[in-house]
Structure 1
Amino acid sequence: MIERIETGTRMSKIVKHGGVAYLCGQVGDGADVAAQTRDCLSRVDALLEKAGSSRENILQAIIWLSDMADFAAMNEVWDAWVPQGHAPARACGEARLARPDLKVEIIITAAC
Structure 2
Amino acid sequence: MTEITRHHTGQRMSQIVTHNGTVYLAGQVGNPGDSVADQTRTCLEKVETLLAEAGSDATRILQCVIWLADMADFAEMNSVWDAWVPEGHAPARACGEAKLATPEYKVELIVTAAQG
Give the TM-score taking structure 2 as reference length.
0.95
Whether 2:15 is the aligned partner of 1:13: answer: yes
SS in 2 for 1:69: helix
Query: Does 1:84 pair with 2:87?
Result: yes
Q: Which amino acid aligns with 1:48?
A: L
Question: How far off is 1:48 after superposition?
Answer: 0.4
Which residue, 68, 73, 76 being the options, matches 1:73?
A: 76
The percentage of aligned residue pairs carrying the same residue is: 65
- Report the Cα distance in structure 2 between the residues aligned to 1:86 and 1:7, rounded to whole angstroms: 29
**Residue of structure 2 in register with 1:25 after alignment:** 27
Find the aligned partners of 2:108 and 2:95 in 1 and give their Cα distance: 10
Q: Counterparts of 1:102 and 1:69 in 2: how far apart (Å)?
A: 14
Structure 2 unaligned spans of 5+: none
CA distance in 1 between partners of 2:21 and 2:34 (Å):
36
* Structure 1 position 97, deviation (Å): 0.2
Deviation at 1:31, TM superposition (A): 2.1
Aligned mates of 2:78, 2:94 — CA distance in 1: 12
TM-score (norm 1): 0.98
1:95 match: 98
The root-mean-square deviation of aligned C-alpha atoms, in Å, is: 0.6
Matched residue, 2:4: 2
Q: Where does the alignment leave 5 or more consecutive residues of structure 1 unmatched?
A: none
Aligned length in residues: 112
- 2:56 counterpart (16, 41, 53): 53
- Shift of residue 57, structure 1, vs aligned partner: 0.1
Deviation per residue, 1:13-42 (Å, 9 max, x gap)? 000001000000000115210010001100
